[in-house]
Amino acid sequence: MTRILDWLCRGLQAITNRACLAAGWALIALSAVIAANVLARKLFNFSLQGVDEYGGYCLAICASIGFSQAAYDRAHIRISVLTDLLPTRLRACSDVFALALLTAIAVTLATKACGVAYDSYAMQAMATSALRTPLAIPQAMWAAALCWFSLVLVAQLLHALLMAMQRDWAGIARTYGTPSVDDEVAEELRSASERMAGQHEGAR
């Protein structure tokens, strides 16, 4: 069972990494379009239609995709002033409890988002802008990103519960706990080393 969950989490993380890369390129493209729109408005008194509308769709979808990556990076904000004072076992239990709460919230958001997208599809709702975009399309993409976030968290929660059954408290803290200052420093040093290695290879 542990091997299956490890394989599932690695597969989900690989797909999440690629989705985040695509979302990053989408945000870069959005920035370029916004810059072009500003210049066109300033120099030629001309404005591109739909930049604000589709920019809002893009931000909502990309942010929802980023939630999943933040879960893998343990970047979701947690106040750990009190839990840091607990023994390892209780701290690990609090990490699992926090993960369960976050999973419940994510599933609720995904369910509501799917309901919103379905209602827009059933009513054939259109945007109020001149482009008359069918709202079900961007809402469905937004809901899909939130559903993926829920799936990632469910897999992580199952993995954490299995580790708790095996009494692997240190593993829970290492995998799902709040990163310590030493962990963050070590991660920054590792990232800097990788960047420097990449620059050296590029120089060759």
109-167 pLDDT, tens digit each: 999 999 999 999 999 888 887 778 898 999 999 999 999 999 999 999 998 888 888 88
**Residues in a beta bridge with 134:** 126
H-type alpha helices, the chain: 2-44, 51-72, 88-123, 136-165, 169-176, 181-203
pTM: 0.81
- pLDDT given for residue 111 in this prediction: 95
Residues in the chain: 204
80-116 pLDDT, tens digit each: 767 777 787 888 888 889 899 999 999 999 999 999 9
Q: If you write DSSP's letter for every residue of 21-80 in order, what string do you get?
A: HHHHHHHHHHHHHHHHHHHHHHHHS---TTHHHHHHHHHHHHHHHHHHHHHHTT-S----
The domain segmentation of the chain, as residue ranges, is 2-203
